[in-house]
Every structure is written in C-alpha cells, then in structure tokens.
Amino acid sequence: MPYHHRNTARRTLTLALAATGCCAVLAGCGASQAASQSGKAQAPQGESGTQSRPPFASAPAAPRPTRSPVPARGSGSLAGRTVVIDPGHNSGNFHHSTEINQKVNIGTTRKECDTTGTSTNAGYTEASFTLDVSHRLRDLLTARGAKVVFTHDGERPWGPCIDERARIGNAARADAVVSVHADGSAAGHRGFHVILPAKVRAGSADTAKIVAPSRTLGERIADRFARATGTSPANYIGDGTGLDVRDDLGGLNLSTVPKVFVECGNMRDPKDAQLLTSSTWRQKAAQGLADGIATYLEG
C-alpha cells in the first residue's frame, strides 16, 4: 500500500515510481470515504494505507530480492524520458520502528516517516513484492529507452521517509513517478486501484500543476494494468473506476512532478494473494505498469 494509505491493513520525460501511504510508502495511497469502504480506518496507517505494525507479533524482515541485471539504455520510444520508481516500504522497516515512526511534514500535517507495509497471511511482505515488481518494471522501461531512477533499491536499512521519496522524484525532474504498492484491506476486497493526488495547497504542498497530468497517468496505467493482468479494478474503493483521489499522502502532496500510487491488489485476500505471490503474475503487473507509463509519455 502507499505508505500513508487510508485502508485499515496499512494504505525520471522523468517517471518516478514510487514501487506512499495500497501500504505501501508506497506518510508508501477522499480518505474518509475509502476508509469506510475498506474498513481499514481502525488501525494506524502509513503512506499507502498499510498497517504500520508487522502482520505477526515478531515478523522478520524479508530477505532482499536478487537484483536482475540492468539493461543497457536503448533508443526506443521513451528515450530522453525519466521515470522514477518508488518501491513502497522497505523490508528493514520491521527492525527500525523508532526511525520510521518519527513524523515528517507533508504540507498539510505531519505523518510517520514510513510504515512496514502489509503482507499476505503466509508472510510474503509488501516490501518484497514492491521491490520485485519495481525491478521488472525498470527492465521493461529501460528496454524502451527510458532513464529509470529508484527512490531506494533495498540497500538502505530502513526508509526512505515519504518526504524524501517525493524529493527524489522532484530532483530528478521526472516525467512521471510511480509508487508501487499492494493493499492490506479485508478479505473479499479484491482488485487494483490507482491513487491520484487531490488539489492541495498548504504549507510546502502545492499540487495544482500536477493534478491533471497525474490523472492522465493514472488512467493510462489503470487501463493497461487491467489488460495485462486480467484483473479488475477494486471492488471496495473507487466505485469501479480503479481510481481514488487522496489529499492525505505526503508522497503525492509534496510532489512537483506527475505522480501516482498503484495498489496492485489486496495481500490480505486469499485469491489476490495467490496472484501477488506468483512471479508470472508479477511480470504481468510490471508489463501493465510499463505499458501505462509508456502510453502516457508517448502522448
């Protein structure tokens, strides 16, 4: 989930994938309405809506995924474009609760630096999922000529915080930023959704210039994601559109470039979890994200 998601179980041209607050990041994704729909408003939430506590009492940090080789930059349709990918959460967050619980300014208020993200009932963590999908997405985008920047690549002991994730996309002057997440809602809640920035102007936050392009980016991703994965928009948020507008996520509020959060599915639903834990399906998810980003950047 994006790090400060409003669901109970948690919530580079330049493209920033942020792979916050559907946990994960990802302070990892109309907050009160979604909270009531998903039933996640009762637990502490992160940038993506994921629970800020481990799913089990002593949940260990997941092993770092093996990095795939980075393809040489090509001269494809995305040459000259920058995409920032933001893998929601970090497996090390489980062991750094003090650090990730420190609050940072998101313009409208202060929120926790990050959260642990959610997991499947069997313990496959959102942080492992988001990093794996982000690697696959990077390879697909670089093969098309894009320059890809990560907010982190599992090399940090924890974080980065949600405000830093936003700054990385801004500094890269990304054509697009995508934050990759998975939600942690109730069983029976199925499907994907894309979180779009609301119009916010408060403190250091001013999203006026990115609201429209971010919506276009989100719509393209939602369409292509559905085609590539064969899954449907969420049945518990977004009224069947697969789109949700939020004003409480620091990763979106502090962005000065087009940015969205993508909750690829619900890790707490057994049927969705079966998809999310499949490497074949994760490749389809990455393909859908890449196709959506490409159609947006190509106009």
State the catalytic residues. Answer: 263
Other C-beta atoms closer than 10 Å to the C-beta of 63 total 10
- Residue carrying the six token digits 């792979």: 19
Pairing of strands 259-266, 193-197: antiparallel
